[in-house]
Structure 1
């Protein structure tokens, strides 16, 4: 009798763990507990980060966790590791101090000192007041006690003493200032990790003396999701990654030392979000404000979608898409239903990049580096978009633009439609020069409230009932549910929100956008098309019929691959729902 051995794939025995530092659920945490219930929770996220394996999850109770989070293990595509933060779960890089111990330094007007031998501090954060205020130095580092005394919002550490000049010139006081000293440069620090999810955290007060702190740092990672997280006083930075989702987020308030808003309150060269050499990145449903630059998509980044997001108050640059004339450059970049650019030099800045699509956005300025010459940016398309100040492109790239169904209107220069190099053109002149924008408008879009411009919280860029942008968009686009018979120009429909709303794990759908077309062509000798997830698992098999094109089926938001069988032709696409 032949022996038959049956092999079964057994599911992982996933475990849910609990962290409750302060005991808000009844028991104060201890890392010597089992961590498997609110009755025996751990005290630190670090304990979870060193314990969790594929399929496990951890729920973090409300508290301030003054830690650097470095997970030791990765999940798998079927069994990710999930970190859930309850409302009020904060990862902080700073420690509180006893402000009653500050003393006035004799011989100085505004200088206060405290003995602090614990560690070399990397910054000082003020938590009291309407906004978080981080005391400098960063790019204007105080080098003497005299300089600190003369500069409100500055500090200097010398040996075991920290000297401070508060923003309001007053003696440090916990009720008035609530100062903390920054110890950590990194908040969530991921290197070589995959299949992790972080959900619902506030990450704040990371810094490096003279530079930004990395509240979220990703190096050589893949298949990561950050959902519902808020970064305050730091940045998100990544390099050499693939398949990254940042959803329902906020990145804000880096080094704000005073009011009113001004360029001088921010250090130069810092981006709220920056990625280098990353393949497939989705940034959506977010806000970025009070950074130096909004974001930087750099090097050979490929397949980046920025959707349903706002940015404002970043006085240097907006989203920079930055490559080189003859070397690596970003490719396949989509801006979809974004509202942005108020109090920024521009919403989008293009510097040697290829294959860019801007669709259904409200922007103040779209600007290409106007001196691009040989090796210039290529394949740039803009459609259904409102621009309120300037559309500025390089002379060398005129033939690379495909633009139509847009509304460009600057109230201070109402007849200017575009600037090419250093020359302004009216709409008709631009049409004759380029063959573009034959269905575009050069008139007031009549939004609800112009305010300070697109993206600013005091503005409202929904269309009013008399707007010329209503039903004036590209007829090949499907209007969102509740919209009119044809899609409008701009990010929002007149009759209701045109953006998706995240509700738990359910996504309200209005349309699907693809980096590759929604329809794939047929290939000779192909019998079917397989749709695969990033792990290579087949999730759909489409048998080919007589039609000349293949319709992609409805899929959740994410990254997918297609493969024609049996011929093996393959590609990648991104779905936004």
Structure 2
């Protein structure tokens, strides 16, 4: 059946009769559940039937379930706790620390999880570890990227378990060097069903010991340690696929039936063919359409697939095959065909591909066509609609055609296919085709193995030496000559490895001598009869070429241990120490004496002492060989010359190869050459008593044409009863079976082999012949000649002739040079079963006792017929007036091909008519290409009018013309009338700029739109008026609609901004208005207030007015009043000076200090001498700014001075004189206190 996978959502309901009611516990790592970790929920579970639902996400945990029955279910979204295990992927990540989930003494169900990155030691399980005494059921899970370390341990990389079930799971990319890389089961009963075990590394993917169980509908593939490994277990396998595991299964399965087992198993229903996985490289192990596993499982109804059809083998079949856990992969692409595979440049190829998706729907298929350097030349979509050369719509065959460009190239096809689930698969270089007119010109040596299936091989004598060349590609390839005289126990030859010999990585080349030289047990003189090859000893001395281009000489010996040499023992191997170089002859020899084996390379010897007798070998096979050992995909080429072969020590050469041909009396193999040399392919063959040939097969796909130049070299000859041919040919069609016939192939039955060959007869004559015959049986044993006819064209030695074969719908066309022979077909034509067999051959037919030799050179092989072609030239007048479209559009055309030409005018031009091989004014012209053609399309430029409408303004045009040529540029400038403004252009011009330049590309009509100007006013006010100002930008009396105005307030010195009102709001200093109406704004200012702090000690200061704070700009009168015995001295702080009363203006917070100082009194009186009385009116002058005083009528005075004053007091009164003693110096007196000083002076 063709599998369609349905996905289901599973809900678990558990009902238990116990003391505790079952609970549902929710886990969400993002906090949306009862717990954020799975381990917390497990620890909290009480009832044996508790169900733990886990929301999507990655849980970085290593979980232990001990002694509990737990149902653990993942794949939920946390909002509504609905389940979709693919959309809501739930991952338990062990972080490489230890086992991800460990189960001890518990019965556990785990479903809907990805369990990854576990690491176990000491025989544990990397992903899951269920110990003895536990029962584990795993369902809808992916177990990947886990590891069980320890090479001598017996753990399980993915799962280690006892009793349990694994259902609908994927176990992949796990590793264990011991035990099992995927699943290890021990000491229990197991069921593994609908499970994929893939791409695990280390030991066997599944291993069990001391267990019983069943494996049903599982796929075990791509595992490096093998599929099954069993020890003392009874496990049956049913409906399974075991494929592409690197080791054979080991242990005994109780039974294995209805399964695909690689290598075969003879039990009931088993098969061994390729299962045809959809795309194993991307992990898609669904079955392709046509897989032998479909409907091949156990036919009992109990195993039927979900659609009721017979069981499909593998993980996706049976009643459980609809598991949601399986991941859908991308589409698979195969059977990519490019027809023709060899196309003439400019012709059309058809690309088809079989694209299938086992689960989803293919949404797109694209083919990238690339050159060999990976440069993408074109990308085309392929379709399955029945309309793109793809066959029937909906059959999975996608196709399309592509016209090749001019030039001879090889092309490669990459196919990218995607499905409706966004899975994408890209297949690089999945197809190839060529437009190389010459398929191979043999200018590059050696043979190009991408073009020919065969590689080079040379066995011939040239320049006095035997040439032995061999080119190997992915296999062991040899070129040998065998001694006729093979009884010798001495063998010597000069061996030279030519420069140019090479091998790639994974390959090795050798040149040397080898053979069976003796028998160590049986033969004449031993008393025992031969048991065929048993006891024969093979000796080998060779020069080895390794992948690094290093040459070494090596000797070895081995013994056949049974009759057919299927078992052997190598008992000697050693390299010579002497260096070996290319283009240098080395004498190699091997000698057997009664006591030792002696190998020599020039003068260096390697010896092996014999411990056994030496008898004649049963197999007397001695040879000289060139050989390449190459792994798949690797290659090598060994070129060697051999000279002076000796079979007796010190004797004359057995063969010095001075003759022109290999001597059949000395050697059992004769000339055979398949070699590219001097720009040609040499195919030469020599033989006797047999049919012998050398052939190269074209490596490409079906071609209906084959051509080559063929030259027969003089010296070619055959004896009576022999003939030789050199030919081109192949299976060209089937007349009964194949696609489109309604009949399947019966191998070669109905295939028609077609030859065009040159034959050499016993009279040394050459002739060319065309022939065809039909295979009447599947194995080709019975044939019927359909046609044979000789060409009349003479064929000469050493002259090239061109032979060709062409298959058309109705005939076979043979050509030799210019001569043609036609065979008309009377049967249908279908693709041949042997479709890829296009050959170049040299062949000898020799009866008993007859011989022959033919040497042919082939050159310039073509697989596409060079057509008769014609060219046509196209002219455009004027050059840029238009284009000519050709259908088909090609660089050249076959004779008789029709071409439809369409003249298409360029913008601004109109077609006026043809000239040349097309005539008239119809823009479509059809030509039949029966000669080279030339056409011209004539075009004229078109002129157009320009109409302009402008109301309330004017428009000027530059240049000013009544009409304009198409494409001409015109500049329009709009000017509004007074009171209007320009708004925009309409019609064939647009924009709002007053000047616009347009290109005329048709009759044009343009309108300039003007409108009357409307303006708005802006009223600005401030409160209070003295508080500040409002500035406007721009500052205008009126504004146009939509104009933007920015208002900025500037407070005066004693004010601060208090906010907007009107059309502005808020407290920002800047307001922007859009003038879409008259606007009014008011800026409110608040006057600033400040504090006045006064300090006065020994006095007071009065303020008028007396307030706690003052508005900015107000004045205050200050008066300093000293205390008794003090006086005001000066102001400090904000105020300076010594005026007792002053007025200040408030502009900030102010601090003022009034400074008062003490008053000091000096007093006394002035008398006449002898106390005759006091004198009034005497002035006393106090120096140093101390002031003055005057005595009263009683002669007394009282005077105050500043603190710290010192100086001289001088009395003075008119009419009086005072003696010098009357001047009193008080500078020495410290006047720092209130005191009275009395001066008693006499006046004369």
Q: 1 or 2 for the larger relative contact order (CA 8 Å, sep ≥6)? A: 1
TM-score (structure 1 length as normaliser) = 0.39
Task: From the two aligned structures, give the one with the greater strand fraction.
Answer: 2
